[in-house]
Structure 1
Amino acid sequence: MAARRGGWLILDAMSVTDEAGAPTWVVIDAETTGLSPKEHRVVELAIVVLDERGNSMGEAATLVNPGMDVGPADGHGIRNEDVHDAPRFDELSGWLVEWLRGKVLVGHNLLFTSAFLDEEFRRTGFEMPHVPAICTMTNAPRYLPSLPGRTLEQCCAAAGIPLDGPRSALTNARAAGALFGTFLAQRPTLPSPWVQYIERARRMSWPRIPMRDFQMAPRAEEEWEAADPEQTAVVSPEMARMAAAYAGLSSGAAASDVDVKEAPNPEVDSEFVADVVEDAPRSPEESGPVSAYLGALDNAVSDRVLSFTEAIHLKDLAAALAIFEAEQSDAHRQYVRTLAATAWADKQVTDEERDDLVAVGRLLDLSETEVDVLIEETKPDAAGGSAPATSGSSSSSEYEAGWYPDPYGQGGLRWYDGESWTHHTHAS
């Protein structure tokens, strides 16, 4: 059965059967007030239900009143006044469970979304079960071998899927559903793990949360525009001290001992950084949690230049994804190294671009000297090659694994695994 509420088609999620064409996959996407699942909240939810072959069976979307400030609107386009009459998560949680019950979760950067859903359900007094899930971001390299990066935009472009409409949870859920559909279309039969996922999902027990009446609040159709598109991130000395002490930039010193001169207020040109992030490739050796973490970092940097506040909350996100401090530090170095290598695509890194890379590095716990080393290591030589030797000489081992200008004169970037060059390339 189906009904309409608030202008959106609602499927009766309790009608799941074993028949062909039954609801099988549920694509979910969320916009959030920030990066920390513990400190921030979901501010928009969207659901798209698919049958076994990936055909859309229905969808719904609503803004969510987070009970707090919605955060920087230039990231998600949602203002505080937009969510004033929107339902709270506890009001729609019963509805959401019935949507998810009996289906396999699908989404882009699904670990990030799931971390927020876990916390939201926990606040309502319920535990979200460990639902079988498929992330289109982590699965994309298997189905899109020429994939340049990890963002939804990059994956959809590689698959030939138009990403229509302004940014919203529903736009993203529709696109992720279409992307997942291309994965399904490449296989004459479902991969055996996914068949097992379907069986597990249909047997899984969900908490019985009372269904509460509420009015859905779809996002306004008009596209929101930031008041100042040239917005830059400026950090006060007080915030710099707090962030340095929290993030470990002070090497264990008390917040009062941090020398703010060593961590000047960064001003980052958002257009340059966003362009570099868009062009930067993903590491072929990324784990699922690290990929989810860097995917969230991509969005934070692209949407509104990463601030010290967001840098602090990255630690919470890493903890939620079970990423240890050493692994997070390695991910930060690899991230800035990739940005530096991508920035060299036009054979130069200007002083302004170098300052922007240094500012991003500072927010990721890297010193100015460390960033300068990464910029120098990824600098192409006169022939367009890169720092690690192609001969496998001992000097090659001095360089860490990462993306470097292709040493074979083919242009673009090539992945160096710490010992030798690999077949992984990227046309920057």
Structure 2
Amino acid sequence: MTGRLRHPAHRDASEVTAGSGKGYAVIDFETTGLFAQSSHRVIGVAIVHVDETGRITGRWDTLINPGRDLGRQDIHRIRAADVMQAPTFEQIAPQLVKLISGRVLVAHNARFDTGFLLAELERLDYEAELKLEALCTMQLAREFLPGSGRKLSDCCAAYDIPLVDAHRALADAVATARLLGAYIAEAPDAPGWARSVAGAAALPWPPFLGEASEWVSRDDVAPAGPVKAASWLDRITVKLPEFAGPAEQLDYLALLDLALLDRELSTHEAQALVQLAEDLGIGRATCAALHERYFDDLVHIAWVDMVLTEAEIADLVTVAQLLGLPTAAVATALVAPPVARTSKVAAASSERFALTVGDIVVLTGEMLRLRADWHAELTQHGFVPGAGVTKKSRLVVAADPDSLSGKARTARDYGIPVVSEAGLSSLLGRS
């Protein structure tokens, strides 16, 4: 596990012990949805320590692998690829309990965050008798900011507290901590502060017993965007000599075609290509040659009518980038061949994935487009919208191609391609 938690004191979460100081633990969760008692799960958490005077003394955050799809990714902007190597809630629970034990829990809309905290701990059979001393900065706004809005952004604006990267757990937790500090500064002698701190300190939570895992800060994951060729091609072993023959090379090309259906290369797909190359005994040099062959076939398909459209040019540029091909390969592709080689085009086209009438297509995740609209369009094209993934399914469409949903996991087990909504649109346009 890579990536370590960082905050001003440079302490790792595992170094924090129960009862290590009085004060407040500001907490903010990112979740797959709004309902803690349903199937919705936590996918990120941030904790900020605040002392009794309102001063921030430490901050921690980690992504969490929920083992399911991530819900409305347009809100939290977390990709499935981000959480693939993140710890589970069970693995972060030992440190999490240490960080909040003996402190007053604080959140903006505390009912939401404490609800998810207790629901996740309940799933792990953490059956301790917990005293939950909590404060809600949203509710406190009634007293300190009468007449203002209740959203975190409204409350922060009233005190000129910067709020950047809203809906990111650490940013929201830091802003909430500063808001708490502003409240304390306005009424430092109010008896409620000391009463809450004393109550929490008197009844610390028992430790969560289990094997702890290193936290993975959201700042430590790669920025959003397609997988770059160099980031996965370099993981393929340089083999000399190779033992792969034409059949193995065709298997690799077939998987490559499935991986590039939606002109994106998910982390799962890149890993699958690397693993297949290793299993088949194909070295990095041969993979590079196969990528050139695959691209060459696409070029011939694009030039079959002796006209290269803007869409076809954009498509070739995208594929060349994903395959790590030099810009010279694209420049050569844009030059019209003297004669269209129809036999080569026919052979290349026959090897490409295509949907046929009657194929079962399954959707998973929170789509940008209404699922009912997708189902209607699939039916119009003669395809069958499927409710679940079976070996008879032909294609799975996910809001995130790296989706961790049960449908996506089953599809990968069966070798069924998983594409994005854009990929489905492209396939329907070609069908």
TM normalised by structure 2 equals 0.48
The higher-RCO structure (CA 8 Å, 6+ apart) is 2
Structure showing greater Rg: 2
